[in-house]
Amino acid sequence: MKSFSTTLPSEADRHRLLKSPLTGEGLILLFEAGLVWLTTNQEYVNALNVFPVPDGDTGTNMVLTMQAGFAEADSKRSKHAGDMAKTFAHGALMGARGNSGVILSQIWRGFSRALEGHATVDAALLVKALQGARDTAYRGVVRPVEGTILTVLKDMTTAAEGAIKTNSALSEVLVILVEAADVSVKNTPNLLPQLKDAGVVDAGGMGLFYIFEGMLRLLQGQSLDTPATNVLSLAQFDLSHAMEQVEEGQDYEVVIDFEPNKNFLLEQYYQGLEDIGVSIQVGEGEGIYRMHIHTELARRYEPIEYTETQGIIKKVYMENLQDQMNHRAEAEIKCNPVHPGEIAVVAVSPGPGLSRIFASLGVAAVVEGGQTMNPSVKDLVAAFEDLPTDKIIILPNNKNIILAAQNASKVSVKQVGIIPTRNTPQGFASMFRLMPDGDFDEVVESMTEAISDVHTAEVTTATRTAEIEGVKVKKGEVIVLYDGKLILSEKSLDAAVEGLYEHVDMDDFERITLYYGDTMNQSAANSLADKTREKYEDMEVEVHDGGQPHYQYIIAFE
């Protein structure tokens, strides 16, 4: 992927390329500026989660979608504005990730259609393109919700329509667009109660604002490399260190959460860690630091001893990397071979353990993805295009991937069915209904019905203090979502799971399956399973290594 420069073109080049009417050269420069400014503010957009969970990815999805659009347009540069818009829109569609990315790709699709056949773009045509973008985006969503990116786009378009009556300067219309977007974004909590409860504005709308503000900043000669809002939270602290092999001196991974002393100096602490190990990361939250390091076997306890001199340790996680790599090598994922004419299933999976389960149930291909790593339309198409059958079923297994799956079906000549699974347990339940030689429509219907056979809880750590639908959450507490709804917040993992069991009518179920995440270990999961069996003697309890990030447990009730 092309790396983008935040260095502005010279004033002379700006005047030449961005004069009205815009040619294709000027249009792609505006697209790039929007992408760069969005990228600069990406983490702020990611942090605008309704639920205080560590998986915000709206900003990332929008950036990746814009990157895909720009990469394709950059490879086929043209002075023809309509051609540039069409190429950009196609790239954005194929690279669309998550709901926000798919909607954004539809915005550019409608935008480009209005420019078709036009070599240049003036203010009037820009407004027409926005109208096309608005109409296409609204049509692309089955049940449009106000207070989202759709509303922001609609408000921008309305403002532009009013502006064009009195002013035909493209630059001034862009000023009005950005002002309208700013007002609209700030109003989203008044239209969507979930946003007001969470104390945030709509993330997708905020992302759209940054795209158009970036274009305006380019026109005005303002910098694109300093974020409007600085965000630093433990939710952004990356603990997903995928390695093909363990290098010398990296036998153990140690992660420590601690409350620093009053005289704590981050630079000095970091220097001390460099004497102990490698692959060092330090993330800062509100009063809490998280440290990550790889050490030799004999030195695995030294980070703990050293950190005790720097503050009060709250939590320690330790993993044998060599054993982890050996386990991964032994557990290679082998998917089900597909014969011509059979129904093939493609499943999206957020963790290696969950992927192995899907493979054992007979999927033909697994696409890595989930929260913070939504696969693109192109990724999904690539997973099944070369399979020797024209009958494909996709299990998105995440509400934020369903739209991308639907768009993948539209760009393929194959018959593609989408089972609207919102989590992996629903995906597993659907797989039990698969009949590779069955009637396609009947199999899709049966697999869709299976979704109701399972209820799912997700256990994670709150990334901020909030009150949502009557549930008070404090940052750092363990929270539980049941069938996508936040139900409780507790100080400990054990208390959270116990509260979940009290919330659920256990008499309705016969089996509980615990899928533990990449920050948990089998011993802790087995201990939780034993406690569950003791409390519910007639309940069948299973434990599986899911390997999913962000969520300590995914718990299925059947």
pLDDT range class, residue 483, cuts 50, 70, 90:
very high
Q: What is the pLDDT of residues 375-425, one digit of tens each?
A: 889 899 998 988 899 999 999 999 989 999 999 999 889 999 999 999 999
pLDDT range class, residue 284, cuts 50, 70, 90:
low
Residue of 105, 11, 18, 24 whose CA lies nearest to 378:
105
pLDDT range class, residue 163, cuts 50, 70, 90:
confident
Strands of the 391-395 sheet, one edge to the other? 365-368, 343-349, 391-395, 415-418
Residue of 373, 376, 325, 377 whose CA lies nearest to 349:
373
The Cα-based distances of 325 to 244, 352, 357 in angstroms read 8, 12, 19
Cα–Cα distance for residue pair 393/374, rounded to 1 Å: 18
Q: Which CATH superfamily is domain 11-220 in?
A: DhaL domain (1.25.40.340)
Q: Which CATH superfamily is domain 246-327 in?
A: ACT domain (3.30.70.260)
pLDDT at position 556 over 90: yes
pLDDT range class, residue 199, cuts 50, 70, 90:
confident
Residue of 399, 370, 366, 364 whose CA lies nearest to 380:
366
Quickly name the fold that domain 333-453 has: Rossmann fold (3.40.50)
Lowest mean pLDDT among 9-18, 73-82, 179-188: 9-18
Q: What is the pLDDT of residue 245?
A: 42
Residue of 328, 396, 339, 381 whose CA lies nearest to 362:
339
Q: What is the pLDDT of residues 79-100, one digit of tens each?
A: 999 999 999 999 999 988 888 8
Lowest mean pLDDT among 146-150, 238-242, 474-478: 238-242
Cα–Cα distance for residue pair 108/104, rounded to 1 Å: 7
Tell me the three state secondary structure of residue 7. coil
pTM over 0.75: no
User: 173 near 160, Cβ under 8 Å?
Assistant: yes
Computed over every residue of the chain, the mean pLDDT equals 86
| Residue ranges in 237-314 assigned as alpha helix (H) | 266-274, 302-308
Q: What is the pLDDT of residue 222?
A: 87
Which helix H or strand E contains 435, and what residues bound it? none
pLDDT range class, residue 4, cuts 50, 70, 90:
low
